Amino acid sequence: MRQSGNILFSGVGGQGILLASELTAHAQLAAGFDVKKSEVHGMAQRGGSVEAHLRYGEKVYSPLIELGAADILVAFEPLEAVRYLPYLHRDSAVVVNTRKILPPAVALGKAKYPDTIFDEFASRHIKVVAIDAFAVAESVGELRTVNVAMVGAMSNFLAVHPEVFLRVIDRAVKSRFSEVNRKAFSAGRAAIHA
Amino acid sequence: MAFDNETTLWLSGNEAIALGAWEAGVRVASGYPGTPSTEIMANLSRYPGVYTEWAPNEKVGLEVAIGASFAGARALATMKHVGMNVAADPLFTAAYTGVRGGLVVLNADDPQMHSSQNEQDNRSYAFAAKLPLLEPSDPAEAKQMVGRAFALSEQLDTPVIVRITTRIAHVKGVVEKGARCETPAPAIEKMPAKLVMLPGNARMRRAAVEKRMQAARDLVETLPENRIEPGVGKRGFITSGVPYNYVKEVFPDAPVLKLGTVWPLPEKMIRAFAATVDELIVVEELDPFIETHLKAMGIACRGKDLIPNQGELNSFIVRKAIAPETIGEVFAPLELPMRPPNMCAGCPHRGLFYGLSRMKDVFVSGDIGCYTLGFLPPLSAMDACVCMGASIGVAHGMAKALGASGEGKVVAVLGDSTFMHSGITGLLNMVYNGTYASVIILDNRTTAMTGHQDNPASGRSILGEPAPELDLEELCRALGVRRVTVVNPHDVEATRKVLAEEIAAPEPSVIISRAPCVLLPEEVKRVKPPYFTNLDNCTGCSLCVQMGCPAISWTPLTPEEALARGYREKQKGFAQIAEVQCNGCGQCACVCKFEAIVQREVK
């Protein structure tokens, strides 16, 4: 099992990235690691790009991931995956939700949504796994579980036992949402092959 | 959650500070919301045995805390960095009076301006006001240092500043839980020579300040918050706060002097450390505060010649500045469409700014809040923004400078909470000295930008309990404004008419644009039938798209595609509403002249 690592979460304000990073942090804490996590509140929440940095290890100092040092990028939107390219290295794993959210300039017809996102990763030999987390959430019957489905997909790349995540989910969400979130996690985990 | 148990917690810096203040026996706490400081007061309000409140601004908040301290209670004032400017007046004189109960001023700087209009380095306030300042490196230390700050405050008879930054406030880490300590019960004790700052007394206290700072200089030499971490090699680092972490990441084996008290500095410890190394580098964020004082001591060091003085630091920046040879391959960023923050779908501010965006000759003097986003395209309806409440003074000053040439062309725009924070005196000035400039108060019933804190006009206290509700119309009339109009900004046409009339008025005029923030819990729950686009009627005029609502998108069409869809050949595209995102405000339906935007039936 890896003794330290850096997980970067990225997406659009309102997608539930804070909960996803929180679940992951608790799973790593339960596994016995020191963990630090950095978020940005305020202006960034109004539909802008958002990111959360999670670092774990025996002792973590910096709450921020260095450029070129993210081991896993969990991107809730394709454009918000490729935006964080400078954080990646050649052995990084990228878990990307395939559902696009158009940025304002694209929605206004003033800019084009890039269509070469997956090529950008491939040409740098970075491992990418795509997941339609929206479809996964739809299949378990609760659209608000997109973030938990993403955590499930990401969990394939961690040595933490899935049962640890499920216990964390049970404690993190209201009991009546526990079952559907467990399902979303497991479906997300099964949706990709690491 | 999973990790929390009896003694160990997983907390943000702000949560840890609230816990630290509570454990230190704080009895009274007051503050004004401001990113990144807001969650401290919000969290502290949930603890028993401590009175908390949202003050209308940071000056009032600090004065409340000073009063509680004068009564013998441990007291806390919280603010973001620019709030310290507002609170500076009481701060500089509280430095003279000193305290009875411990008084801690929690100041949150925002390097990188994640959510601020400047990135001032408030460590200089400690120097200027002659106050001790502590700076933690992570949430665990933040909790511990708040306790130390209360103890130092009483020991040295002084307010103490704890300075954090965004990467403390919104960083989560492992924190040890302690018990709440007992503090003496508050009681009146008269000590006018200490507390009445007229010149005769103040001159005496001025001398006391110097005596106290000398005592502080002696004391910081032995505080455990200042420590030398021995290491390998002859290159040593002096650092404090969050940058300490970056030094430890990049140079794990190097000798480090970690400063917990940035003011006053432990000079003897610094000299002793400097003597053990050949090369001394100060790693600090923003200004060369430590570096400048080291150089004044005659200690040779490097600092801002290596480390940037703009923006926040991180391990990569420190590595690039000092050890670039250790940088591996880094992929270059790509040119991508930006994703700036935007007003929400259904935001009432949009209707108002849409109206202003159609008045191209009018100078819009803006202010601090969600509505500052009215600056962004496509609305592009804000022409200036300086600080909290400044919109009104700036509009008045412009009108005075422009004279007759500016008539009907100058308007100030600010939110309800910002108006109460520091706009009221500006409006009073407008009335007293006369103007043709107008003021728009965007009353969305909350302090939205910082996460929906209650305020004097929301009718609720920090605990959500009923509170007197300020009547903004009556307040404006009481200040002497004869023209006060209330509009519903979702009614875009009516709003435009009022804007035209009131901005043209030759006397002070206030428009209150009133509709609740769509993110308020009661608004989120309210059933709001969404609108949808009847694509048969869309002519591609793009008026709705020009509102910049995140629920509306534009699909461009080639002439062939337009014809294939049954449109005119020259129709450039069509607009469409994403119903899941629509909050049913109806502003876009107001501007559509072709009945292409229709509301779903109420079920």
**Residue B453: both structure tokens together:** 């804190």
Q: What is the DSSP letter of B185?
A: P
Q: What is the pLDDT of residues B206-227, one digit of tens each?
A: 999 999 999 999 999 999 999 9
Share of chain B above pLDDT 90, in %: 98
Residues 135-154 of B with CB under 8 A from A: 138
**pLDDT interval class at A42 (50, 70, 90):** low
CB B443 within 8 A of CB B418: no
Supply the pLDDT for residue A14. 85
Q: Are B152 and B185 in contact (CB under 8 A)?
A: no
Q: Is the CB of B249 less than 8 angstroms away from the CB of A61?
A: yes
Of chain B, the end-to-end C-alpha distance in Å amounts to: 39
The secondary structure element, H or E, covering residue A131 is strand A127-131
Q: Which residues of B touch A66 (CB under 8 A)?
A: 249, 314-316, 319
In Å, how far are A104, B41, B166, B245, B464 from B452, measured between CA atoms?
25, 13, 19, 33, 11
Closest CB to B172 among A25, A40, A105: A25
* pLDDT of residue B1 exceeding 60: no
Q: What is the pLDDT of residue B2?
A: 40
Residue B475: which of B425, B432, B513, B437 has the closest Cα?
A: B425
Task: Locate CATH 3.40.50.920 in chain B.
Answer: 227-324
Please say whether the beta carbons of B13 and B38 come within 8 A.
Answer: no
**Residues B536-556: pLDDT tens digits?**
999 999 999 999 999 999 999
Task: Report residue B250 as tokens.
Answer: 């990049």
Give the nearest partner residue to A36 out of B36, B171, B553, using CB atoms.
Answer: B171
Phi, psi dihedral angles at B198 (to 5 degrees): -100, 165
Is the confidence at residue B493, as pLDDT, over 50? yes
% of chain B residues with pLDDT over 70: 99
Give the chain A residue whose CA is nearest to the CA of B573: A109
- Contact between chains at A113 and B554 (C-beta distance less than 8 A): no
**Partner-chain contact A45 B378, CB within 8 Å:** no
Q: Collect all residues of chain A within an 8 Å Cβ-Cβ radius of residue B371.
A: none
Of A12, A25, A83, the CB nearest to B10: A25
What is the pLDDT, as a whole number, of residue B602?
Answer: 73
| pLDDT digit string, tens, across residues B348-361 | 999 999 999 999 99
Give the tens place of pLDDT for each residue, B6-23: 789 999 999 999 999 999
CB-CB: which of A13, A46, A63 is closest to B373?
A: A46
pLDDT grade for A47, boundaries at 50, 70 and 90: confident
Q: What is the mean pLDDT of residues B171-175?
A: 98
State how far the Cα of B202 lies from the Cα of B587, in Å rounded to an integer: 58
Is the domain defined by B227-324 classed in CATH 1.20.1530.20? no
Name chain A contacts of B328, Cβ cutoff 8 Å. Answer: 68, 89
Out of 3.30.70.20, 3.40.50.300, 3.40.50.720, 3.30.360.10, select the CATH number for domain B527-599: 3.30.70.20
* B54-84 pLDDT per residue, tens: 999 999 999 999 999 999 999 999 999 999 9
Residue B438: pLDDT over 90: yes
Mutate to test the interface with A, among B331, B343, B517, B554 (most CBs of A within 10 A): B331
User: The complex's ipTM?
Assistant: 0.96
Over residues B457-468, the pLDDT tens digits come to: 999 999 999 999
The strand pair at B363-365 and B256-259 is best described as: unpaired
- pLDDT of A194 reads 56
Chain A residues inside the 8 Å CB shell of B370:
46
**Rounded to 10 degrees, what is the CA torsion of B233, B236, B239, B242?**
-20
Q: B41, B61 in Cβ contact below 8 A?
A: no
B348-524 to CATH, choices 1.10.8.60, 3.40.50.2000, 3.30.450.40, 3.40.50.970: 3.40.50.970
Nearest-CA distance A147 → chain B (Å): 17
**Using the beta-carbon criterion (under 8 Å), do A47 and B550 form an inter-chain contact?**
yes
What pLDDT does A109 receive? 85
- Confidence class for position B444, pLDDT limits 50, 70, 90: very high
3-state secondary structure of B600: coil
Distance, in Å, from the CA atom of A1 to the CA atom of A159, rounded to the nearest integer, reads 6
Neighbours of A141 (CB within 10 A): 10
CA–CA separation, B592 vs A103, rounded Å?
A: 23
B552 by DSSP, 3-state: which? strand
Give dist(CA A76, CA A21) in Å, integer: 12
pLDDT in tens, A127-160: 999 999 999 999 999 999 999 999 999 999 999 9
Question: Is the domain B8-220 a CATH 3.60.15.10 member?
Answer: no
Banded pLDDT at B271 (limits 50, 70, 90): very high
In angstroms, the Cα distances linking B491 to A21, B415, B495, B505, B581 are: 40, 19, 6, 21, 20
Which CATH class name applies to A5-191?
alpha beta
Q: For chain A, what is the radius of gyration of the CA atoms?
A: 16
Given the DSSP bridges, would you call strands A34-38 and B171-176 parallel, antiparallel or unpaired? antiparallel
For residue B65, the distance in angstroms to the closest alpha carbon of chain A comes to: 26
Which residues in chain A are contacts of B327 at CB distance < 8 A? Answer: 68
Q: What average pLDDT does this structure show over B79-105?
A: 98
Beta bridge partners, B412, equal B365, B439
Q: Is the pTM of this model over 0.80?
A: yes
Average predicted confidence (pLDDT) for chain A: 93
Q: Which of A56, A64, A167, A168 to mutate to test the interface with B (most CBs of B within 10 A)?
A: A64
Backbone angles phi, psi at B495, to 5 degrees: -65, -40
Question: Which tokens is B507 given?
Answer: 């006397």
Confidence of residue A44 (pLDDT cuts 50, 70, 90): low
CB-CB: which of B319, B337, B552 is closest to A103?
A: B337
- Give the CB-side neighbour count of residue A47, counting CA atoms within 13 A: 20
Assign B176 to helix, strand or coil.
strand
What is the arrangement of strands in the sheet containing B8-12, beginning at the earlier edge strand?
A: A127-131, A88-97, A70-75, A5-12, A49-57, A34-38, B171-176, B8-12
Q: How far is A140 from chain B (nearest CA, A)?
A: 19
Domain(s) of CATH 3.30.70.20: residues in chain B? 527-599
Using the 8-state DSSP alphabet, how is residue B36 labeled?
T
